[in-house]
Amino acid sequence: MITKYHIFISSAPEDLKNERLELEKLIFELGHIPVVPALFDTENKTEGKIVNKIIEECDYFLVPVAHKYGAERRPSPAEAEFSHAVRAGIPVIALIIDEKARRKASKREKEGPLIEALENFKDKLRDYPYDTWAGVAEVRQKTRAILIQEMNLNPRQGWVRGNEAVQPGVANELARLSSENEALKRQLKPGKESSRETLTRLKAHTRRALKILSSNKIFLSFYYAAGKNWENTREYRYLHLFKLLAPELSLGKNTAELSRFLGNTLNPDPGKTPRKDFPAPSNTIKKVMADFALLKLVKTAENYPGSGEDEAWEITEYGKDLYAAYRMHQLERAANEQARPGRKAK
């Protein structure tokens, strides 16, 4: 499953027209969706509210600035959008022109108040992830690096195709199975006829739950020590990920640890070494764990060291039961294979 992000590119003066177009192309090439306010008149109160609503629904806010403030009035459209993004909790990424960059006089503010307003705006932006640039090519290069870094360090919800996400009905079904399993386990009494019926129902529930996990899939990419971008994207069944992660989650694991584990365990290219930190994308890991939590298989790990900085998860009792049933099924199948007529013992 591929998560796509909406990335808002703030209003900018006419002198940044080429840079803005390059940013839009870059975001498309990265597989995400650029959102631009060019069609709206931000001075119109109604349309300004629409722009604010759009910002709130985006995953990241990207703001390029050079030597033009962009308006006689203050705040400029770009600064007003920035302020709203901050209030809405949208991660801000800034691209601030290098003061040594060559720029035509016509692309520089000449009036003192506007120059001062521009510098104050730049000072505000430096409190957030930012980089400097000197030309169009560098805008592209620097934005790519800082955007990918921010997506890894500060992943957002984004969106996925409806047919790729875990459907509410699926989550409800597994939640129901989890609740019924608990009730059925309480009914089990050794030696009672009813217990055999209960056990049969428990096994049927387990088969249904494993089938649900097997039918849901997600895409996972890998980042290598010598690489420059994500690569080797592969599709994995939730059941495959669950069987790998269940033993690891018995004592709890955070996102960074799960990323290292999956990045190394599932690496489809043994000739390449996964990078040390986040060889598998953190936003995908968090999506998988959020789905597992929705399916009642894991829960947030309390009292986990450092969990306040990086959320950690641990397996639930239902998750343990499901994993045990899966392993038992594997062992029984292996035993049946060994017992087949004509098969030689190793």
Q: What are the DSSP calls for 204-270, one per residue?
A: HHHHHHHHHHHH-EEEEEE-BTT-SS-EEEEEEEHHHHHHHHHHHTTS-EEHHHHHHHHHHHS-S-T
Residues ≥6 apart with Cβ < 8 Å to 253: 245, 261, 301, 312, 313, 314
**Omega into 247 within 30° of 0, i.e. cis?**
no
Helix (H, G, I), strand (E, B) or coil at 119: helix
| 161 in a structural domain | no
Q: Are residues 49 and 175 in the same domain?
A: no
Full domain range(s) for residue 129: 6-153
- In the prediction, which pLDDT does 110 show? 79
Q: Are residues 114 and 224 in the same domain?
A: no
What pLDDT, on the 0 to 100 scale, is given for residue 273?
95
Same domain flag for 60 and 195: no
Residue 14 sits at φ, ψ, to 5 deg, of -60, -25
- Strand residue runs (E) in 44-153: 60-65, 92-97, 130-133
Give the number of domains in the chain.
2
Same domain (yes/no): 249, 132 = no
Establish how many alpha carbons lie within 13 A of residue 257's alpha carbon, considering only the half-sphere containing its beta carbon. 16
Same domain, 135 and 183: no
- How far apart are the C-alpha atoms of 110 and 117, rounded to whole Å? 12
pLDDT tens for residues 121-177?
999 999 999 999 888 888 888 999 898 888 877 777 677 554 455 555 555 655 565
Phi, psi dihedrals of residue 219, rounded to the nearest 5°: -90, 140
> At 315, phi and psi to the nearest 5?
-75, 145
Residue type for position 289 = M
Closest by Cα among 218, 241, 234 to 326? 241
Pair (110, 258) in one structural domain: no
Question: pLDDT per residue over 52-94, tens digit each?
Answer: 888 988 989 999 998 888 777 778 888 989 999 998 888 999 9
* Residues 131, 267: Cα–Cα separation, whole Å: 32
Q: Do 227 and 115 have their domain in common?
A: no
pLDDT at 4 over 50: yes
56 shares a domain with 179 = no
Q: Is residue 31 part of a domain?
A: yes
Confidence of residue 13 (pLDDT cuts 50, 70, 90): low
Q: Are residues 189 and 100 in the same domain?
A: no
Q: What angle do CA 168, 169, 173 make, to 5 degrees?
A: 115
pLDDT of residue 203 exceeding 70: no
CATH number of the domain within which 222 lies: 1.10.10.10
Token representation of residue 105: 């006089």
Whole-angstrom Cα distance, residue 95 to residue 7? Answer: 14
Phi, psi of 184 (to 5 degrees): -65, -40
Domain assignment present for residue 160? The answer is no
Which of 123, 153, 183 corresponds to the end of one domain? 153
Least confident of 91-100, 159-168, 314-323: 159-168
Percent of residues, the chain, with pLDDT higher than 90: 22
Asked whether residue 7 carries a pLDDT value surpassing 90, the answer given is yes
Q: CA-based angle 37:40:46, to the nearest 5? A: 120
pLDDT for the residue numbered 136: 86
pLDDT grade, residue 307 (50/70/90)? very low
pLDDT band for position 328 (cuts 50, 70, 90): confident
> Of 153, 180, 209, which residue sits at a domain end?
153
Nearest Cα neighbor of 266 from 252, 246, 245, 250 is: 245
Written as one string, the DSSP assignment of 16-37 is GHHHHHHHHHHHHHTT-EEE--
Average pLDDT over residues 29-33: 88
Whole-number percent of the chain with pLDDT over 70: 77
Check whether residue 141 and residue 268 sit in a common domain: no
pLDDT of residue 346: 45
Say yes or no: 113 and 181 in one domain: no
Q: Per the domain annotation, does 177 fall within a domain? A: yes
